[in-house]
Structure 1
């Protein structure tokens, strides 16, 4: 028995030794052949041993909070840290900050065939859908690359199948590394704000209906609330692109519709051909004529908006909780009595809740995709996957430990450099020097960011008020087939240009609303009814996934 035991032990040791030698020699000759599923076998080791790209190009919109102090994303501390970790030099390319121009630049870039290696944008609002872009050779299908080279996002998706459903097309393609909002409270961040000190000076209540809004704006125009003895107040700054954007829905929800596609009890509708849209335009036209709306609203960009708020001229607008309400409160902290508050999305009837405000989904189509011309997609996948690791999550949400945050009782607490910036920067801008939590990107947004970002009671109260909107008519994050995308691009390219142009003409009175039926007929001539059917089919497919 002792002899048998010794022989068995010797045999086991010999087999183990031979296996070790064989493995070492095999890995030396061909690592991939002997480790076909490194991410699945040992995610930590694979991540550490990953061969990252030496360099690549990255096309992404430059967030306004970043642009306030930095030239481009290469100056962001999170990307400096990523370069230190991986040795990868990224050439960032930023399109216009104007959304319409940026989309036009994207389309021209795609048409030219001269692509960067990575493109980050919202893919569900593009003329072509993700399936079409994969089919025509613009983007790479990522499913297999993620399975083999991206252990962090792969693990997250396996634990969150509802998110995996959202980031895939109906064909099953994963086309981008997604921006994911990791908590329900992160999904409401935009709405109407108003000068409370002006309301108090003129003895007015917060407006809750469109009629009450008109009364307040009229008082702002006539009551000299800034007290300078001049009639220079701008009651309301309308952002017409926010009206047409399904992400923001400025004011339009009071009429029970969205400007573009929405659904009622499972039936897809298009807002700009509905009678309620004409009613909205009638109100906006009257407000514009009576100087309740900024006469320069169509030409006002972010910098001009900032100047009008900080110049003590602007009474109300739609904006972000952190990058608007919080930012302006900080910038005006030395102005005696200055106070902004958030108010509820208005309705038409007193006591009713607005049908639509702003609410995000965990995933809205925003993500970083890899183009077909990329020479090293496997390495770029590994680079992008870092954002979903524990280290990447901390860096993208909080920046650099010891500089922008400290761990206090196992909680990443922002430092005074962020919350009480010595240069007087608002938190939205100071944090944007370090992290991308204020500007989205390929990572999972952390609720602990919001818990500190909304420092002020007015911000927390605004979140509660903005969250009251029903938002039941919002479409899910549907995707289109390649053929549907081509047809939608053909229809909506002309329709969107015409609709935006006519919105401005109607509001400014350059076109009579007696021509609204002609406007609807023209929109239908572009194929809007067909576009509604395409969206309906895609929504039905989404719910059947």
Structure 2
């Protein structure tokens, strides 16, 4: 989950983390938001020669971790195998070393030795798409899409907001986008509570910051795990920049990083409300409500604290968090139950200003490089995923193998939901599809309805969706000069922020030094970074 959409976080929530397509050349409608409905009328697989697909192409992409858990390349994913059968296009995939994708991308761009297609999170590329087009690394796609991509063209006409998102400040469309095609797909993280502990202690679901305090105090003192020891950890949080520990900050209507109010960019850490938040978190830590070892707790240690019934609350993702822990504890403790808790507010009855929410387009897409000798054919090939057949293929896989239609609803089979090799659902999906969050197509909400199919998961999503979220930023683009300046500032800001915020919350640094903290951020030119973000937002708002 990077900090672009509101906090240094939002490139996070982008990050990760960090999760459609077509019937030949027949234009396709956007995926339906109504469960059980298809996206549009089925089409026949086109004749390969008439469609004009390329015979072969090279394709560079970061390999999704759920795919790499069992496969070595996207060429082994069933959806891509079937796509080759349908189109006749042989794809040579190139995957960067895990964790080195940004460095390897920059080296590749500098060398000029490029594959035909590069799939990446383009919002994180320093120079920006406009500069890469001018440098003749990737090509402008507007006219090619209008002429050779009827499925994507129809989608953009029906959803002009998507066109605005995927178009640069200079009017260029530079990539075939990954689009989350329904609001239900945009929220997938939040605060999770041991609901069975609430029930045992006869506590209502918290709504306000004060409610959360009372619940966590009861968790600490009420022995909800029933072992006769005061070993419960009420809540585990992480306070590094952009982390989910700042979910509680949203009660004050700000984020720890960049957000907007009435079109004006702000940086939450220098706002007065941020001091109030730090004071509350410090008091919670001092009372033993926040895990005293939070800064040193890695995912394995967190797992141990959850499965040993010590941890009462932690921010989680709906799939790899709520669903995973429910599965792990099903046999160990049948009473174990997690619930997605509301994003907190300061006053009872208020609606949360902010919650976790992804943008429909977060910058992930497939660009065609200037090395491609047949861009028109590649455009047609990429467009296949935006029609009915491609949409079903990359969201659900192979009919009769990974899914079956039940009254028009594509239901995953036991190869996915109850994998015979005991693979987690996401890894089983990775053998067939890419709906987890990669690639140029439109994600279908019916994927999420089944991936997060437990009642606890579905209720959590509905609870976490209940926020205004008007202050989050769209994915903004900067010029090469702006990007260099912005990154230089934020590298220093993030390092200092992470070092100091934990000292303030733990009491290592006295709260009286908070004004000094703000002053240091300003001396690091955070206000210049705000101006750069403001210029980018102003340009975005002028897009047609």
TM-score per shorter chain, which class?
0.7 to 0.9
Query: What residue in structure 1 maps to residue 353 of structure 2?
Result: 355
Measured at CA, do residues 508 and 366 of structure 1 come closer, stay the same or move farther in structure 2, by a change above 3 Å? farther
TM-score, normalised to structure 2, is 0.81
Residues 44-123 of structure 1 correspond to what in structure 2 (within 5 A)?
44=46, 49-52=51-54, 54=56, 56-60=58-62, 62-63=64-65, 65-66=66-67, 69-70=70-71, 73-85=74-86, 86-96=89-99, 118-123=117-122
**More displaced stretch, 44-53 vs 160-169:** 44-53
Question: Is the counterpart of residue 170 in structure 1 residue 169 in structure 2?
Answer: yes
Distance 2:70 2:226 in 1: 33
Residues 371-410 of structure 1 correspond to what in structure 2 (within 5 A)?
371=369, 380-410=378-408
Distance 1:507 1:126 in 2: 33
1:270-311 alpha-carbon deviations (Å, 9 max, x no partner): 111112222222333333344433344344444444444334
Distance 2:49 2:306 in 1: 47
Distance 2:270 2:122 in 1: 25
Describe the SS at the equivalent of 2:431: coil
Q: Which runs of 5+ in 2 are unaligned?
A: 1-24, 28-44
Query: What residue in structure 1 maps to residue 470 of structure 2?
Result: 472
Query: What residue in structure 2 maps to residue 313 of structure 1?
Result: 310
Describe the SS at the equivalent of 1:93: coil
Distance 1:523 1:133 in 2: 32
Aligned partners of 1:248 and 1:357 also within 8 Å = no
Measured at CA, do residues 357 and 534 of structure 1 come closer, stay the same or move farther in structure 2, by a change above 3 Å? same
Distance 1:337 1:249 in 2: 29
Measured at CA, do residues 45 and 73 of structure 1 come closer, stay the same or move farther in structure 2, by a change above 3 Å? closer
Distance 2:231 2:101 in 1: 33
Query: What residue in structure 1 maps to residue 448 of structure 2?
Result: 450
Query: What residue in structure 1 maps to residue 484 of structure 2?
Result: 486
Describe the SS at the equivalent of 2:95: strand
TM-score, normalised to structure 1, is 0.81
Query: What residue in structure 2 maps to residue 153 of structure 1?
Result: 152
Aligned partners of 1:132 and 1:483 also within 8 Å = no
2:267 to 265, 270, 279: 270
Cα RMSD, aligned residues only: 3.3
Query: What residue in structure 2 maps to residue 338 of structure 1?
Result: 336
Measured at CA, do residues 47 and 174 of structure 1 come closer, stay the same or move farther in structure 2, by a change above 3 Å? farther
2:525 to 515, 524, 527: 527
Query: What residue in structure 1 maps to residue 41 of structure 2?
Result: none
Distance 1:61 1:300 in 2: 27
By how many angstroms is 1:269 displaced?
0.9
1:358-410 alpha-carbon deviations (Å, 9 max, x no partner): 12232222223345566765555444333223222112111221111012233
By how many angstroms is 1:327 displaced?
2.5
Residues 431-442 of structure 1 correspond to what in structure 2 (within 5 A)?
431-442=429-440
Query: What residue in structure 1 maps to residue 282 of structure 2?
Result: 285
Distance 1:301 1:379 in 2: 47
By how many angstroms is 1:71 displaced?
5.4
By how many angstroms is 1:125 displaced?
4.5
Residues 19-38 of structure 1 correspond to what in structure 2 (within 5 A)?
none
By how many angstroms is 1:450 displaced?
2.9
Measured at CA, do residues 287 and 394 of structure 1 come closer, stay the same or move farther in structure 2, by a change above 3 Å? same
Distance 1:284 1:48 in 2: 64
Equivalenced residue count is 500
Q: Which runs of 5+ in 1 are unaligned?
A: 1-37
By how many angstroms is 1:180 displaced?
0.8
Question: Is the counterpart of residue 430 in structure 1 residue 428 in structure 2?
Answer: yes
Aligned partners of 2:238 and 2:245 also within 8 Å = no
Query: What residue in structure 1 maps to residue 5 of structure 2?
Result: none
Aligned partners of 2:416 and 2:425 also within 8 Å = yes
Measured at CA, do residues 440 and 286 of structure 1 come closer, stay the same or move farther in structure 2, by a change above 3 Å? farther
By how many angstroms is 1:254 displaced?
1.1
By how many angstroms is 1:87 displaced?
2.1
Measured at CA, do residues 385 and 339 of structure 1 come closer, stay the same or move farther in structure 2, by a change above 3 Å? same
Query: What residue in structure 2 maps to residue 459 of structure 1?
Result: 457
By how many angstroms is 1:236 displaced?
1.9
Report the structure number with the largest CA radius of gyration.
1
Describe the SS at the equivalent of 2:534: helix
Aligned partners of 1:479 and 1:538 also within 8 Å = yes
Aligned partners of 1:62 and 1:72 also within 8 Å = no
Measured at CA, do residues 306 and 128 of structure 1 come closer, stay the same or move farther in structure 2, by a change above 3 Å? farther
**More displaced stretch, 262-271 vs 209-218:** 209-218
Measured at CA, do residues 519 and 119 of structure 1 come closer, stay the same or move farther in structure 2, by a change above 3 Å? farther
Aligned partners of 1:53 and 1:380 also within 8 Å = no
Distance 2:293 2:55 in 1: 47
Aligned partners of 1:181 and 1:362 also within 8 Å = yes
Relative CO higher for 1 or 2, CA cutoff 8 Å, sep ≥ 6?
2
Aligned partners of 2:239 and 2:246 also within 8 Å = no
Aligned partners of 1:226 and 1:233 also within 8 Å = yes
Measured at CA, do residues 214 and 528 of structure 1 come closer, stay the same or move farther in structure 2, by a change above 3 Å? same
Aligned partners of 2:118 and 2:367 also within 8 Å = yes
Query: What residue in structure 1 maps to residue 10 of structure 2?
Result: none
By how many angstroms is 1:523 displaced?
2.0
Structure number with the higher helix fraction is 1
Aligned partners of 1:178 and 1:363 also within 8 Å = yes
1:176-209 alpha-carbon deviations (Å, 9 max, x no partner): 2211111222222221111111222233222212
Aligned partners of 2:119 and 2:366 also within 8 Å = yes
By how many angstroms is 1:267 displaced?
1.7
